[in-house]
C-alpha cells in the first residue's frame, strides 16, 4: 500500500511538472508570436495609445496614493530609528535608496499586477469566451498581432513610467514627514540624498528592474487570459493566477536582480 502511495505521489509530481513545462512552452510561443508579428504601424499606433491609457493612465491614482503613503511611512519609521543615534540628517539617503533600489520597482510591479494585470487577463479571457478571438482567426486576422502585441508593449512602456512617478511621489512624501513635520533641515535632506544616489548604480539599475518586472507581469497576465478556459469560472481562476504568479515572479526575480546588481 505504501509503495502504491509513493508511486502515485511521484506520478502526480511528474504530471504537474509536465503541465508546467507545457504551459511555459505555450506562453513562449504566444510571446514570440506577439513580438515578431508583422508590424503595421498605422493600425498598431491607435491600439497602442488605447492600451497605454487603459493600463497606464487608469493606474495613476493607486500608484500616486500608494507612493505618497509609503514614502511617508519610510520617512517616519526611519526618523524614529535614526534620531536615537543622532543621524536624522541621513533620512534623505534612507528614503531615496529604499525607494530607488527596492520599494519603487517592486511595489509598483505588485500594484500593476493587481490592477492592470488582472484587467488584461479578464479582458482577453472575456474575448475568448465570447469567441472574438476565434472570429478573428476565421477572418485571417492574427490575434497575437491585433490583441496581444499592443497590450504587451503598452505594459512594458507604462510600468516603468508609473514606477518613476511612484518613486518621485514617495520621495516627496518622505520630505513632507522629515522636513515639514519633524523639522529636518531642507538643505540637509536633499544634499545627503544627492550625494548618496549614484546615477548608474541606483537609478539605471532601478529602471532595469522596472523594465524586467513590466515584461514579466504583462507576459503572465496576457498568457493567463489567452490560455483561460472560456467560462466565467475559468476567467476568475485565470485572473487569480495572474496576481499570484506575477507577485511570486516579481519577488523571486527581484532577489536575483538585487544579487547581481548590488551583491558585490
Grid cell in block for residue 27: 506562453
pLDDT of residue 4: 60
Tell me the mean pLDDT in the region 191-202: 90
pLDDT at residue 151 above 60?
yes
pLDDT of residue 110: 97
**Residues 78-137 pLDDT 10s:** 999 999 998 888 999 999 999 999 999 999 999 999 999 999 999 999 998 888 888 888
pTM over 0.75: yes
Tell me the mean pLDDT in the region 178-200: 91
**Residues 45-77 pLDDT 10s:** 888 999 999 999 999 999 999 999 999 999 999
Whether the CA torsion 110, 104, 60, 46 is positive or negative: it is negative
Query: Which residue did the predictor score with more confidence, 144 or 264?
Result: 144
**Residues 211-231 pLDDT 10s:** 999 999 999 999 999 998 888
pLDDT band at 253 (very low <50, low <70, confident <90, very high): very high
pLDDT at residue 169 above 60?
yes
pLDDT at residue 163 above 70?
yes
The three-state DSSP-derived secondary structure of the chain is CHHHHHHHHHHHHHHHHHHHHHHHHHHHHHHHHHHCCCCCHHHHHHHHHHHHHHHCHHHHHHHHHHHHHHHHHHHHHHHHHHHHHCCHHHHHHHHHHHHHHHHHHHHHHHHHHHHHHHHHHHHHHHHHHCCHHHHHHHCCCCHHHHHHHHHHHHHHHHHHHHHHHHHHHHHHHHHHHHHHHCCCCHHHHHHHHHHHCCHHHHHHHHHHHHHHHHHHHHHHHHHHHHCCCCCHHHHHHHHHHHHHHHHHHHHHHHHHHHHHHHCC
**Residues 9-48 pLDDT 10s:** 777 888 888 888 888 888 989 999 888 877 677 778 888 9
Grid cell in block for residue 261: 546588481
pLDDT at residue 8 above 80?
no
pLDDT at residue 1 above 70?
no
Amino acid at each position: 500500500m505504501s509503495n502504491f502511495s509513493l508511486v502515485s505521489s511521484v506520478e502526480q509530481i511528474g504530471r504537474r511538472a509536465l503541465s508546467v513545462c507545457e504551459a511555459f512552452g505555450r506562453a513562449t510561443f504566444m510571446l514570440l508570436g506577439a513580438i515578431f508579428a508583422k508590424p503595421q504601424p498605422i493600425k498598431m499606433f491607435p491600439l497602442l495609445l488605447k492600451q497605454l491609457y487603459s493600463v497606464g493612465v487608469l493606474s495613476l491614482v493607486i500608484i500616486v496614493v500608494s507612493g505618497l503613503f509609503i514614502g511617508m511611512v519610510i520617512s517616519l519609521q526611519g526618523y524614529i530609528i535614526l534620531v536615537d543615534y543622532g543621524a536624522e540628517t541621513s533620512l534623505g539617503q534612507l528614503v531615496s535608496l529604499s525607494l530607488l533600489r527596492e520599494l519603487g520597482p517592486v511595489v509598483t510591479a505588485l500594484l500593476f499586477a493587481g490592477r492592470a494585470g488582472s484587467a488584461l487577463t479578464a479582458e482577453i479571457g472575456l474575448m475568448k469566451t465570447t469567441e472574438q478571438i476565434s472570429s478573428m482567426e476565421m477572418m485571417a486576422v492574427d490575434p497575437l498581432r491585433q490583441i496581444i502585441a499592443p497590450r504587451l508593449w503598452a505594459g512594458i512602456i507604462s510600468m516603468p513610467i508609473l514606477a518613476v512617478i511612484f518613486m518621485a511621489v514617495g520621495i516627496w512624501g518622505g520630505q513632507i514627514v522629515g522636513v515639514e513635520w519633524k523639522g529636518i533641515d531642507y538643505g540637509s535632506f536633499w544634499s545627503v540624498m544627492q550625494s548618496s544616489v549614484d546615477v548608474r548604480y541606483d537609478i539605471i539599475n532601478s529602471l532595469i528592474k522596472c523594465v524586467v518586472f513590466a515584461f514579466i507581469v504583462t507576459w503572465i497576465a496576457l498568457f493567463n487570459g489567452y490560455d483561460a478556459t472560456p467560462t466565467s469560472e475559468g476567467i476568475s481562476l485565470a485572473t487569480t493566477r495572474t496576481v499570484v504568479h506575477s507577485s511570486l515572479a516579481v519577488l523571486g526575480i527581484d532577489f536575483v536582480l538585487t544579487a547581481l546588481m548590488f551583491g558585490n
